[in-house]
A and B are shown apart, each in its own frame.
Chain A
């Protein structure tokens, strides 16, 4: 009997070891693939010497590690290539902590950014600038000398107060201000810090006079928040304005006429020495045609419908008559 139990134990140990080995291999494969996406500055032109023109005139377009940013970078890449600029694409680099120092050094020449967050994270955490003009002005004066932003697009990926179509119809909601008479009947959801954030519940109260029935802490415009809206656990939520589920779940993002949420226009962040008149013209042309609706539609195609990024980017450029 003892040997039988002993054998069973050995079998269990062997199986456990096999499962562990598979798990470790899988984890290191994942870790390996994410670190290979990190930028190696040694291969980048102009790295460490901002005065030297890039040896081959090649421009490096980077992107952060989320679909919308990759899509925007893809649009930049295709448009620039269409105008005969030599482009290297380095997509899915990582979060701002990773790529921003690279742009500052010139290892990346161009990256799509969002003016509001760029300002509050890299330039001035305490900035009170809200409108596009104010944010851009603060960036122009606050960015390091090697960097500049070009023209902002109308497209914004910003926080919002979003409701379901049914709720919007029921209470005749178009802008956040329309919530005033009914807010006390509604629960609002958002990331936990939304409760105390300056542009969260605090701002909604001071800017629009809203007091909600309750606040439910969820995630940052992610699956939990969207499920809560769908399920009716909350009647309003902080959802990013280019979240694809706005289309698929028939949601309505209320307008923010009093600028409670700071502007988050898509804007190219550029390493100055790499900028040429051609590049500036092309990127400004893209920004002139990029609206929130267009960006939302494209996000829906690549995120929900798993369409190919290049295909969607090329279609946008063709429709807008660029390149």
Chain B
């Protein structure tokens, strides 16, 4: 019996799709536990990364902190927060937001910092204000990298949002944790498979998003660059 056959058998069992705490319910919950932290992280990390990229100040410090930050054990942080904060929304939000910030921050910074200096000069020369330079020139040019950062974070968060199940919440982690504790490996494999499929879906979504949002001209440049 392979992981895949266990997973496939479990996912194909009709009874797993209906009733309380069934697959559809947990997928929706999982999207919530992934989507909200990603959104919050983007709201924090994109402006921060863009600002650092535009001014060039503090880049070494912030980027190195962001990279070292990835070593934070998300699960450990979750348990610590349960002890400190109890069962509030912050308890599961903070670890996942912390997980999502570094890729978005670093990529936003790299995207803006990597804008051709000639282009920046031209924008300045045209009399654009700082705000105009950033929003009309630098961010659009940096968009492909920003999207890469968002995509990377999205996959991390979708994969890690399984930890919400550790504190009695739902999501696809529920199948993994419940299955492990009762030795039902079909359930574990099935839950894991669903997480993988969801992550693949995220990849596809971002590919579509990239195609829609990134102007054709930039896309050509990136392929050559």
Contact = CB atoms under 8 A, between A and B. Distances in A.
Interface of A: 1, 5, 8, 11-12, 15-16, 19, 23, 189, 191-193, 195-196, 216-219, 223-224, 227-228, 230-231, 233
B177 A192 contact: yes
Given A192-B178, A230-B86, A11 B64 contact: yes
B178 A217 contact: yes
Contact of A196 (B63, B67, B166, B182): B182
A235 to B, nearest CB: 13
A8 B117 contact: no
B205 interface: no
Interface in B100-132: 113-114, 117
B59 interface: yes
B182 A224 contact: no
Given A19-B67, A219-B166, A233-B87, 18 more contacts: A1-B117, A5-B113, A8-B59, A8-B63, A12-B60, A16-B68, A192-B180, A192-B181, A193-B178, A193-B181, A217-B178, A218-B168, A224-B166, A224-B167, A227-B86, A227-B87, A231-B86, A233-B86
Contacts of A196: 182
The 10 closest A-B pairs by CB, nearest first: A231-B86, A192-B181, A216-B168, A193-B181, A15-B64, A192-B178, A193-B182, A233-B87, A227-B82, A19-B68
B79 interface: yes
Q: Is the interface of B mostly helix, strand, loop or mixed?
A: helix
Contacts of B117: 1
Contacts of B63: 8, 12
Nearest to A19: B68
A60 B180 CA distance: 35
A233 to B, nearest CB: 5
Contacts of B89: none
A217 B79 CA distance: 14
A96 B165 CA distance: 28
Nearest to B64: A15
A189 to B, nearest CB: 7
A5 B67 contact: no
B148 to A, nearest CB: 16
Contact of A23 (B60, B71, B180): B71
B83 interface: yes
B70 to A, nearest CB: 9
A219 B60 CA distance: 41
B85 to A, nearest CB: 9
Interface residues of B, number: 25
B168 A191 contact: no
A217 B71 contact: no
A141 B87 CA distance: 47
A224 B174 CA distance: 15
Contacts of A191: 181
| Residue of B59, B68, B168, B180 with highest tally of chain A CB at under 10 A | B168
A97 to B, nearest CB: 15
Contact of A217 (B59, B60, B67, B165): B165
B180 to A, nearest CB: 8
Contacts of B64: 11-12, 15-16
Contacts of A193: 178, 181-182
B68 A224 contact: no
A192 B183 CA distance: 11
Contacts of B79: 223-224
Interface in B77-92: 79, 82-83, 86-87
A192 B87 contact: no
A227 B178 CA distance: 20
A5 B87 contact: no
A233 B64 CA distance: 39
A11 B64 CA distance: 8
A19 B174 CA distance: 33
Contacts of A227: 82-83, 86-87
A249 to B, nearest CB: 12
B19 to A, nearest CB: 14
A19 B69 CA distance: 10
B71 A19 contact: yes
Contact of B114 (A5, A12, A19, A219): A5
Nearest to A4: B56
Nearest to B166: A224
Interface string B179-191: 0111000000000
Nearest to B110: A5
Given A16-B67, A223-B82, A227-B82, A217 B182 contact: no
Nearest to A191: B181
| Residue of B59, B64, B83, B174 with highest tally of chain A CB at under 10 A | B64
A195 B20 CA distance: 14
Nearest to A223: B83
A307 B59 CA distance: 47
A8 B178 CA distance: 46
A218 B114 CA distance: 47
Contacts of B60: 8, 11-12
